[in-house]
Chain A
């Protein structure tokens, strides 16, 4: 298998795809639904916010390995952060996955596992769907987020 495929489908990604973390519904919180009409990926992000702090986050839905692993890793990395910090992290994450493929990957902790997406521009939407949905949930927008 080619090196860029190895980069994309790292063990961390495959593990989060097989056993997504925080894969459940939350009641009494905010939620938003994300949809990628191109491939049919669909997920719901649930959020508990205390003041400005994300005290709990979870997701459910169906999608490719990249979108599922990205959602799973996202829930782990934003729990306990403020919404402003999560939004800033999204910006850095987006910069990382949209960087030129020859650029050295930024260090975003466990989210760095998704840096391989840089070499697959058509998969950027898969990796960012959960983050867009989180943003909508955080802003308590009661609408469906679409990648298109």
Chain B
């Protein structure tokens, strides 16, 4: 792989990293691409692209079935990918890692399995005001099915969860807490360890949505002590359609399966089916083998670069971007928590986010404009939408400068 060696003094060699991402070489509307939509999806390094090609060119077969050489090769690659994810999250055992399509499927899996086994009428599920729709709707569906109730932890205007209110929402009716690690719309890093400790003090398990966290900060599920952790591969330099759910083994053992089908069984008769052991119990059907292998390559790449260096680089860029945007008259940052990961969300007086997005695109600057799948959060902020620039390891101060310059054009248009 094209591993990047840090450029000394504990700094990321961003120029070398950018060379690893072929998509960044292109021009958009005559300008060099400035990709600042990393919270939506990250770009892929050549190492991941090459790994996918090699898998399909040399190793492709179905897993866990064939006696032939290719099947063994594919199975080995798939099992190795699971071990890579285990190591990435510092889970205790590979059987606690379930491959899913992404964070969304991971949450739905827990809602449907843990929910079916443990949630009854009158019970409560606690989520927060800053959740993505993917960590709201599956719980609403569960509540509608069971007669349980959704409780919502409020946040401050800066975008920090009100832990005092959270504590009050934890009662003997609470069956699960589901909360995001890092907010996709605000950038807030939530105090997950405290959230988990407070829930565990009442015997309540916690699911953490790590979709926006894993590419930007080191995650250790055992240190967090959470019960479930989900993330999407495509937001961490990997392919789309693959992600992982970490679940504490004892919980995964106690829950019913998610989908029925091949691979998740140990024996089937028309009278009775015995389910397979972990993790296969939750992986019905032929899995996304190529995706898992590509995800492992992405994790290997990120690990070789060094997550701590990535986090420090993005933190520096975030501070630089926050200062630069703060100097733009009429611009208001949405999400000013003390602990933030690389999200710069904002609104401009006189210019709608959609218009900002169009004008920035013509300058080659890709950002997201809209509600970011957080409509309740937008309502809380009192805005219909925001513009959002989101950072990754390959972004530079020049990228932030290009954003600021393009925002000046927006202001000229709408002056």
Contacts and interface: CB of A to CB of B under 8 A. Distances in A.
A64 interface: yes
Interface residues of A, number: 23
A45 to B, nearest CB: 18
B352 A4 contact: no
A5 B355 contact: no
B371 interface: yes
B29, B369, B385 interface centre (most CB from chain A within 10 Å): B385
A8 B385 contact: no
A5 B414 CA distance: 12
B62 interface: no
Interface in B367-383: 369-371, 375, 378
Given A1-B409, A2-B29, A41 B414 contact: no
Contact of A66 (B353, B355, B378): B355
B352, B375, B385 interface centre (most CB from chain A within 10 Å): B352
Contacts of A1: 359, 362, 409, 412-413
Interface string A1-24: 110110011000010011000000
B362 A39 contact: no
A80 interface: no
Nearest to A120: B358
Interface string A53-66: 00000000011111
Given A2-B29, A14-B413, A39 B358 contact: no
B385 A39 contact: yes
B354 A126 contact: yes
B285 interface: no
A8 B352 CA distance: 15
Nearest to B415: A14
B385 A40 contact: yes
Contact of A64 (B29, B30, B354, B413): B354
A64 B412 contact: no
A127 B396 CA distance: 35
A31 interface: no
A39 B354 contact: yes
B362 A65 contact: no
Contacts of B92: none
B413 A39 contact: no
Contacts of B412: 1
A64 B362 contact: no
Interface string A117-147: 0001011001000000000000000000000
A26 to B, nearest CB: 23
21 contacts: A1-B359, A1-B412, A2-B30, A2-B362, A4-B362, A9-B359, A38-B370, A39-B370, A39-B371, A39-B384, A40-B370, A63-B384, A64-B353, A64-B355, A65-B351, A65-B355, A65-B414, A66-B354, A66-B355, A123-B354, A123-B358
